[in-house]
Structure 1
C-alpha cells in the first residue's frame, strides 16, 4: 500500500508544476486537476494501513489538494 504515497507524490509534483509554475505540458488546466484528484484517491487508499505514518498520509493529501483548489479557482474564476 505504500505505493499509493509514491503515486500521490508523483501526481502532486506533476499537477503542482503545471498549475503553479505554468508548465505547459497539457493543453488545459483540467488535466492537472484530474491528476491531482487521482493523487488524493491514491492517498486515501493508504488510510487503512496503520504501518504508514499519519503525517505522511496528511502530506500526501495536502500536496494534491492545494493544486486542485488552485486549478479549480483558475478554471472557474
Structure 2
C-alpha cells in the first residue's frame, strides 16, 4: 500500500511543476489537474492501512490538492 504514497508524490511533483512553475510538459492545463486528482485517489487508497502514518497520508493529499485547486482557478479565470 505504500506504493500509493509514492505515486501521490510523483503526481504531486509533476502537477505542481506544471501548474506553479509553468513547465510546458502538456498542451493543456487539464492534464496536470487530472494527474493531481490521480494522486489524491492514490493517497485515498492508502487510508485503510493503519501502518502508514496519518501525517504522511495528509501530506500526500495536500501535495496534490493545492496544484489541483490552483489549476482549476487558472482554467476558470481564463
Relative to the length of structure 2, the TM-score reads 0.98
RMSD: 0.2
- In 2, distance between residues paired with 1:19 and 1:68? 9
Residue 34 (structure 1) shift: 0.1
- Aligned residue for 2:67? 67
List alignment gaps of at least 5 residues for structure 2: none
Residue 59 (structure 1) shift: 0.0
Which string of whole-angstrom CA distances, capped at 9 and with x for unpartnered residues, describes residues 15-36 of structure 1?
0000000000000100000000
List alignment gaps of at least 5 residues for structure 1: none
1:27 aligned counterpart, secondary structure: coil
- Aligned residue for 1:35? 35
Relative to the length of structure 1, the TM-score reads 1.00
